[in-house]
Amino acid sequence: MYQEYTDSIRKYISHIKCENESKLLLHALRWVEKGYSLEKMENRCFSYINKSDSKYLSMKIHKLVKSKVSKRMKGPIQEIDRKRPRSKSPAPKQFSNENVKILLEEARKKLEMKKIQMNLDTIKVSVDEDDENDSLSVLNARIASGMYASGIVQAPLILDKTGRTISMQTGRAVVLEQNMPTLKANLRVGKSRITKKLTVVSKHIVKDEPAPIPSLKIKQISRTKLQKKDFHHDPNINVKSSGRDQRPLKLNTPGKYERIANRLRSQAKLEALQSNITAVAKETGILKAAKLAAIQPSAKSIEMVETDVEWWDSLILNDQNYENFIVDKLCGITNLIEHPVEVKPSDYPTKPINIKLKLTKKECKKLRRQERSINLKEHQEKIRLGLLPPLAPKVRISNLMRVLGSEAVLDPTKVESYVRSQMEKRQKTHIEANESRKLSHDQKIEKIASKVRQDTNCGFLTTVYLVRSLANPSHKFKVEANAKELMLTGILALYHDFCLVVVEGGKKQQKKYKRLMMHRIKWNDNLPKMTEKFAKLKDNKCNILWEGHVKESSFEDFKVKLCPNEKFAREIFRRNKAEHYWDLAFTKAVIDNAD
């Protein structure tokens, strides 16, 4: 039956335009099997082909199915019905053992052909096989189910007293398998349900004996069966469910929120009291004195220890006393002035520096003309001696008649194309020569780095800036980005009272960065609406605390650090052996805030 449908539908599909004919054929056979109507079939076809072709194909398939069904109804079945005597209760058709075997073989062949052509699974019917003697009735049930699936006879639905589906031939309970979902969303839901069921089953499995689970509507899974199916399965490990477990309702203890409210009230009172104490301390000057005392070193370290002998004489005197010392013993000391030998500094150049003479523009052009004329004469001399081939005439549109002469008159189009090609070639050669002389990206970076190294050979120039606030993000970005672009090392410490910027580098780099910090950035511009939070930014400014030379760099690169408290900031500078920068900035900020 399906072979007839397959040949006819394949013929119809060949008359239309379709990218995947085999897929459309497979779906068309499935629609025929399910008995789709004309409209439904046309809608399904529209997802594979255009509207006109889908209408044509659905009409052809519908007519084909109609003709096949009418032929079957008008065929030998009607003749048998006419000859058969009519009775009120027709007896079901009985099959002998030989007929059953023949029908079974035919049904098996049909099912195999159907699987090969349509790649569809037949409806499986699972029957309880407790009694092995009823094999004949089971075969009859399978043949009948094959007839029902093919659409020749409509399968009746028979239920018992308990509502279970039973077989018409055997009278036993039949379990029909449901259609499996194909959408990914439905597959995920089904997978999660199976995982939950397996989780519950694994929890009920005991090490020694499997426990039955009557509440679940699935078959009992014993430990031995799980080990046979999958030897990697360990029943001792619980499978984690994909969904969230149900959480129990938790009630708050009485008085919980009252305690929270009382704690918040006491905290607010403490903060208000601290702010009042700070305000009074600022007015009286106690706060300033306390902070300065914390910064200044202790008096014990400053105390000068009085000794009988100066430190420069302690190496000469044995008794550490001037009374017992005899002056005549110092024979090497005279009343003459000794001039020590002058020691050259460490950065003194080994070779004499020759300052190059700066030429004017006119002198540079003259020098370039002379060099070009010398090179041209050398090239002409080589051509005269036969070392180089003679140069081709430099033809342009303006001089082609003078250079080419009669050739330009004979074929002017060809000559013009030749001249233009020569011009393009000369232009291309010129551009390629310029590009070859240009430095690559890596060479440019190396050139800049070499200049920076050359600028810092004799030491580093360090500058310490104090900024009141960097609340404006654009200011913070400019400070950080320019320091990295100029290849400066240092740190930007963000403290709640002030911001400290320390930069180290060469003279040229520091000159550009100093102009940025002192002139280019407008520290009180581009501010949001003036609220209490940004009130202090009205007088925002940048000051230079210290500027000078150091032998070695204290920082490896430029970093930005957020300092929540003074101890954290001091520790950062102490690690880099630059704690004195922080002390200088902190002292200056305390004095400014107190004033």
- Encode pLDDT of 231-271 as tens digits: 666 777 776 666 677 778 888 899 999 999 999 999 999 99
pLDDT by residue (tens digit) across 289-337? 666 666 665 555 555 567 778 888 887 777 777 777 776 677 777 788 8
CB 107 within 8 A of CB 146: yes
Q: Tell me the mean pLDDT in the region 565-592.
A: 91
Q: Are 373 and 284 in a shared domain?
A: no
Report yes or no on 576 lying in a domain: yes
Q: Chain centroid to CA 136: how far?
A: 66
Eight-state DSSP code of residue 55: H
Report yes or no on 352 lying in a domain: no
Q: Tell me the mean pLDDT in the region 553-576.
A: 93
Q: Which residues of 523-557 are buried (b: 16+ CB within 10 A; e: fewer)?
A: beeeeeeeeeeeeebeebebeebeeeeeeebbbee
Identify which of 124, 122, 132, 127 has the alpha carbon closest to the alpha carbon of residue 174: 127
Run of H or E residues at 544: strand 542-550
Q: Are 460 and 578 in a shared domain?
A: yes
**pLDDT for 305:** 63
**pLDDT for 258:** 93
Run of H or E residues at 379: helix 361-385
Q: Which residues of 455-494 are buried (b: 16+ CB within 10 A; e: fewer)?
A: bbeebbbbbbbbbbbbbbeebbebbbebbeebbbbbbbbb
Q: Are 79 and 114 in a shared domain?
A: no
Report yes or no on 489 lying in a domain: yes
Q: CA angle 332-338-341, nearest 5°?
A: 115
Q: Is 316 helix (H, G, I), strand (E, B) or coil?
A: coil
Q: Is 157 helix (H, G, I), strand (E, B) or coil?
A: coil
Region class of 422: left (phi > 0), else alpha (psi between -120 and 50), else beta:
alpha
585 CB contacts (<8 Å, ≥6 apart)? 464, 466, 498, 500, 545
CB 210 within 8 A of CB 222: yes
**Which pLDDT band, with edges at 50, 70 and 90, does 554 fall under?**
very high
Integer Cα distance of 578 and 546 in angstroms: 13
Report yes or no on 171 lying in a domain: yes
**pLDDT for 365:** 97
pLDDT by residue (tens digit) across 164-218? 777 766 667 777 666 666 777 777 777 777 777 666 655 555 444 444 444 444 4
Q: Are 473 and 567 in a shared domain?
A: yes
Q: What amino acid is encoded at 518 in this protein?
A: M
Q: Are 480 and 537 in a shared domain?
A: yes
92 CB contacts (<8 Å, ≥6 apart)? 168, 169
Domain-terminating residue out of 295, 321, 352: 295
Domain-terminating residue out of 336, 370, 385: 385
CB 122 within 8 A of CB 107: no
User: Mean pLDDT in the chain?
Assistant: 77
Q: Which two tokens stand for residue 539?
A: 């007088």
Report yes or no on 325 lying in a domain: no
Identify which of 488, 486, 503 has the alpha carbon closest to the alpha carbon of residue 548: 503
Identify which of 216, 108, 124, 117 has the alpha carbon closest to the alpha carbon of residue 174: 124
Q: Are 266 and 158 in a shared domain?
A: no
**pLDDT for 179:** 66
Q: Give this prediction's pTM.
A: 0.42
Integer Cα distance of 291 and 543 in angstroms: 21
Q: Are 466 and 573 in a shared domain?
A: yes
Report yes or no on 322 lying in a domain: no
Burial class (CB in 10 A: 0-12, 13-18, 19+), 346: exposed
Integer Cα distance of 552 and 456 in angstroms: 10
Domain-terminating residue out of 246, 272, 295: 295
Q: CA angle 319-320-326, nearest 5°?
A: 60
Q: Which residues pair with 462 in a beta bridge?
A: 504, 548
Report yes or no on 421 lying in a domain: no
**pLDDT for 464:** 96
Highest mean pLDDT among 142-156, 200-214, 462-476: 462-476
Report yes or no on 136 lying in a domain: yes
CATH number at residue 526: 3.30.70.100
Q: CA angle 20-26-30, nearest 5°?
A: 145
Q: Are 463 and 590 in a shared domain?
A: yes
Percent of the chain with pLDDT over 90: 29
pLDDT by residue (tens digit) across 211-222? 444 444 444 444
Q: Are 526 and 557 in a shared domain?
A: yes
Please tell me the total count of domains within the chain.
6
Q: What amino acid is encoded at 4 in this protein?
A: E
Q: Are 265 and 371 in a shared domain?
A: no
DSSP, residue by residue, 327-340: GGG-TT--SSPP-P
Q: Give the residue numbers spanning the domain of 137.
A: 97-176
CB 278 within 8 A of CB 271: no
Q: Is 159 helix (H, G, I), strand (E, B) or coil?
A: strand
* Range with the poorest average pLDDT among 15-24, 261-270, 511-520, 547-556: 15-24
Q: Are 497 and 575 in a shared domain?
A: yes
The sign of the torsion formed by the CA atoms of 307, 308, 310, 311 equals: negative
Q: Are 483 and 559 in a shared domain?
A: yes
Select the more confidently predicted residue: 547 or 451. Answer: 547
Q: Is 467 helix (H, G, I), strand (E, B) or coil?
A: strand
Instruction: Give me Rg for the CA atoms of the chain.
Output: 51
Integer Cα distance of 211 and 380 in angstroms: 108
Q: Which residues pair with 465 in a beta bridge?
A: 501, 544
